[in-house]
Structures are given as C-alpha cells and as structure tokens.
Amino acid sequence: MTQAKSDLPQGTLDLLILQVVMLGPIHGYAIAQRIQQISRDILQVQQGSLYPALHRLENRGLLAAEWKGTETGRQAKFYSLTAKGQVQLKTETESWKQLAKAVRLILESSEADAV
C-alpha cells in the first residue's frame, strides 16, 4: 500500500479534492474513501493532510461547506464546489495534464536514449 501523504506533489491533493467534490456535496470522510477507491488503493489520504487542505480550500472560497444530516442520521460537514472552485479545477486540471505530458515525454525520451 502506497503512503501517498508525502509522495503527492505539492498542490496535487487540492486538485484531487476539487475533482471528487465536483461530483456533488460530500463530507470529508467520504472524500478520503472516494480517492482511495478511485485510485484503486494506490493513494491513501491521511487525515492530517486532508482536513487542513479542506479548510484551506474553504478559506480561499473554492469550496463551500454546509452541515447536513447523513443517511445514517448523523450531522456531517458537506463540501461542494463554488463557481470559483470550478474555474480553479479546470485550470489546474489543464496544467496538470500539461505537466504530466511533459514529464512523460522526457521520461520516454531518456528511456529511448538509454537503450
């Protein structure tokens, strides 16, 4: 099992959170679960990074929060994406793709050289 906490590049966790929240209002615990599921257990988000990140995104106005009852009847803090958050998600996704592409190109070229 990979410990994603320190391996995730700076800012990547924010991007993942925004992406997960985009699907609809969701509480912190579910966000952690969802990231873990979708990444097929490769990424495991630690509470120690998740909650500070959530609060930071809320402070920056990218996420909105609301206390609501869950299906089990307990009160939980549900996060949803603001308009500003949607814009941010879009630009960050773009730049992440660019970066990933660039990194892949470089890695592949050096592999070819090495052969």
Partner 1 sequence: MSWWRRLLKRQEMERHLDAELRFHFEGLVDDNLRAGMSVAEARRSARLQFGGIEQVKEECRDSRGTRWLETLFQDILFALRTLRKNPGFTLAAVVALALGIGANTAIFSVVNAVLLKPLTYPDPDRIIQFMLKLPTGITPGASVTKFNVWREQTRVFEDVSGYYVGPGLNLTGDSRPEQLRGMYVTANYFQLFGAPIVEGRAFTADEDRPNRGHFVVLSYGLWQRRFGGDPQVVGKALALSGDPYTIVGVMGPGFSTDPVPAPDVWIPCQFEPNSTDQAHFFLAAARLRPGITLDMAKAQMEIAADQFRHLFPGVLGIFGPQDGFTVEPLRDALVGEVRSSLLVLSGAVGLVLLIACANVANLLLLRAAGRKREIAIRASMGAGRGRIIRQLLTESVVLSIGGGAAGLALGILGVRALLAVNPGNIPRIGEHGSAITADWRVLGFAILLSVATGVLFGVIPAFQASRSDLGETLKEGGGRTGTGTGQNKARSLLVVSEVALALILLIGSALLIRTFYALQNVDPGFDRRNVLTMGMSFSGSPFKKTSQVSQLIHNAVQRVDALPGVLDSGLTSNLPFSGPGHSGLPFTIVGRPLANGSSLGRVGYVTVSAGYFDVFRIPLQRGRVFIDRDDDGAPPVAIINQAMARTFWLKGDPLADRIVIGQGYGPEFADSARQIVGVVGDIRDEALNRNPQPIIYVPMAQLPDGITALMARINPVAWVVRTRVEPHSLRSAIETELRQASGGLPVGSVRSMDEIEGQSTARQDFSMLLMTIFGSSALLLAAIGIYGLMAYSVQQRTQEIGIRLALGAEPGTVRNMILLQGMRLALAGVAIGIAAASGLTRLLASFLFGVQPRDPLVFLAVPILLTAVALLACYVPARRATRINPLEALRWE
Q: Which helix (H) or strand (E) holds 7?
A: helix 4-7
Interface with partner 1 (CB under 8 A), residue from 8, 19, 39, 51: 51
| Smallest separation, CB 27 to partner 1 (Å) | 7
**Contacts with partner 1: how many residues (CB under 8 A)?**
19
Instruction: Please tell me whether residue 10 adopts helix, strand or coil conformation.
Output: coil
- Cβ atoms 79, 27 nearer than 8 A: yes
∠ Cα 55 8 104 (to 5°): 135
Q: State yes or no: residue 55 binds partner 1 (CB under 8 A).
A: yes
The residue to which tokens 């814009």 are assigned = 87
Q: State yes or no: residue 2 binds partner 1 (CB under 8 A).
A: no
- Choose between 28 and 85: whose C-beta lies nearer to partner 1: 28
How many C-beta atoms surround the C-beta of residue 32 within 10 A? 19
- Choose between 75 and 110: whose C-beta lies nearer to partner 1: 75
Interface with partner 1 (CB under 8 A), residue from 77, 82, 93, 96: 77
- d(C-alpha 69, C-alpha 71), whole Å: 7
Which residues here bind partner 1, judged by CB under 8 A? 27-29, 32-33, 46-48, 51-53, 55-56, 59, 67, 74-77
